[in-house]
Amino acid sequence: MAKRATLALLLCFSISLFTVTSGIVFASSDNWSEVVRFADAGIILETEPFTVDHVEWRIRWEYEPEPEVPEEHPSLHVYVYTQEYPGSWFESIRKRGTEETNGTLYIHDKNGTFHLTIISAVQNYTLIIEQNLESIPEFPSWIILPLFLIATSLAITIKKRLFRPIS
């Protein structure tokens, strides 16, 4: 009897999880929207503040190395700051020479107003800030049902163990 109840509970859980997660949209190129773009050849630049409304965003970067700068010297450094703590960066991109001249830095679970400090010794660079329009600043709603099912199954198990008939 207990095996059937466990199998029935697992079947309900599986069907519920499938039903709830079938509407989840994974990050595709259509979900990303450009917030701001920085392109320059300056040595040190403090950007204007920009606001990211969604909790998942990224910085796509690309640069052309300066031929006269030796490989061991820094080529491009980008520091990301929040407006709340302007003197303390929380993410960075640091590249030298021609090791990688393009890439993407993903940032999760942070939204608000930010600014960048860009230090470059390159011919030119492009930084594109994009946000994932499908990301939601709260925990995913699909987690509620599995948590409820786990809590219910634990309650049933504990109740059965505590209130066994005495024979």
Rounded to 5 degrees, what are φ and ψ at 17?
A: -65, -45
Per-residue pLDDT of 82-132, as tens digits, reads 988 878 888 998 887 667 889 999 998 888 999 999 988 888 899 999 999
CA atoms in the 13 A half-sphere facing the CB of 44: 0
pTM: predicted TM-score of the whole model, two decimal places? 0.62
Distance CA 78, CA 125 (A): 11
| Structural domains of the chain ordered from first start | 41-132 (2.60.120.380)
pLDDT at 4: 65
Largest CA distance in the chain: 89
Alpha carbons 129 and 125: distance in angstroms, whole number: 13
